[in-house]
Amino acid sequence: MKFNAYFVRFYHLQTSFSGVIQLDGENVKANFKRIDGDLFVVYFKNQVELRFLQKVAFKNAKNMLCVLLPILSQYNQRKLKKISEILAVIESQTFGQIICALLAVEKFLAVGDLLHFFSVERWAAMAVLTELETARQVKTISFNDLFVTSWSHYSLNLASLEEALRQAYENREKTLKFNQLEKIIKIPQTSIYFRYLLRKCSSLFPLKMAANALIFSQLPLTADEKERMTEIERVLKANKLMIFNIENVQKNTPFSLRQINDALWYMINEDRLLRLNERYFIFSDEYNKTINRLKKFIRNQGDVITIDDLRGITSYSRKYLIILFEYLDGQNITQRIGNKRKILLGA
């Protein structure tokens, strides 16, 4: 990969000067500016391709300049001081050590852009990055261009995003726009890093990603909602309505239709209920008992069961038995054969 400027080691009395260097038998104009001691930045009008520790001849000078590193970003004085410290020992460092050192200056590195400069094969670079990630020194964001950040930077951003999502979730905010998150975690929403962090956090909360926002698909329950769910379960079981519909709940509780709908939805998500069809529900613990009774039936009476047999092990009315059988057929737990069913469960 070609760059417009490089850090080089070169002995020269002047702080800044221009001259001509020889690259591949051609004379190329260059401007030099001292950074510290024998450390200079050399600027080119057009991008040129140099390699790590390459010796380049400077016209009319006895000594040669030694290429140390391409200019990867804009550097203020603080960054230049750190870069100078890195370059002072860079010749004795391994590729992995150089990457870690640069991540102390840069928040991100496209390591793929540096492979040719350091004469490192892609497979070798991936092996180094994997080892560094295992040691929690580097985090690879994209394997296409080997885009990386330091582990400490990644951990800090991930924790900030998790906290922002947690607060929004606990405050029952249905939608959280990306520009809101961008201000909180100081990461541009257009970056692949922003999306990477979102994917990492999405497993913690029930949410969906829209074009420009996160939508929480299920908000945390309030104390009233939890009490409502508990009361619905208590009343239905007290009336032995293990299989029921919304009308049953309306008749036996003082709650509104919306409150009942919300409560049943939450109970399904928490695996406290199963939906048998569009109208009817069954308590999950009761359903599990029914499955265990079917297994016991196989051991004692065989794998063919009638509707009367199912009534005998559940005590449900015929109406509910038909609904339950249809659900079991759909789940491949039973198979209809005429007016009977074959149980497909193992004993």
pLDDT for the residue numbered 146: 96
Query: For 282-316, how does the pLDDT look when each residue is reduced to its tens digit (9 = 90+)?
Result: 999 999 999 999 999 999 999 999 999 999 999 89
189-243 residue pLDDT tens? 999 999 999 988 888 887 888 888 888 877 667 788 889 999 999 999 999 999 9
Q: What is the structure's pLDDT at 219?
A: 67
Kindly state the DSSP code that residue 114 receives in the 8-state scheme.
G
Q: Tokens in use for 177?
A: 């726009």
What's the one-letter identity of residue 337?
Answer: I
Q: Thinking of the domain 3-70, which architecture would CATH place it in?
A: Beta Barrel (2.40)
130 has a pLDDT exceeding 60: yes
Residue 64 has pLDDT above 60, yes or no: yes
Q: Do the beta carbons of residue 160 and residue 185 sit within 8 Å?
A: yes
Say if residue 172's pLDDT is above 90: no
The runs of H, that is alpha helices, within 74-121 are 77-89, 95-102, 115-118
pLDDT of the residue at 286 = 94
CATH 1.10.10.10: which residues of the chain?
285-343
Q: What is the pLDDT of residue 347?
A: 53
Q: What is the mean pLDDT of the chain?
A: 92
Domain 285-343 has CATH 3.30.70.920: no
Phi and psi (nearest 5°) for 245? -125, 180
Nearest-angstrom CA–CA distance, 347 and 327: 20
Domain with CATH 2.40.30.10 in the chain: 3-70
Specify the CATH number for 223-282; select among 2.115.10, 1.10.3470, 1.10.10, 3.40.50: 1.10.10
Region 101-113 average pLDDT: 95
Contacts of 305 (CB under 8 A, 6+ apart): 294, 297, 334, 340, 341, 342, 343
Rounded average pLDDT over 131-143: 96
Q: Determine the Cα–Cα distance for residues 76 and 121; give it in Å rounded to an integer.
A: 32
The pLDDT value recorded for residue 333 is 93
Is the pLDDT at 82 greater than 90? The verdict is yes
The DSSP bridge pattern shows strands 138-142 and 26-36 to be: unpaired
Average pLDDT rounded to a whole number, residues 45-73: 91
What is the percent of the chain with per-residue pLDDT over 70, rounded to a whole number?
99
Number of C-alpha atoms within 13 angstroms, CB side, residue 333?
Answer: 16
Per-residue pLDDT, 204: 82
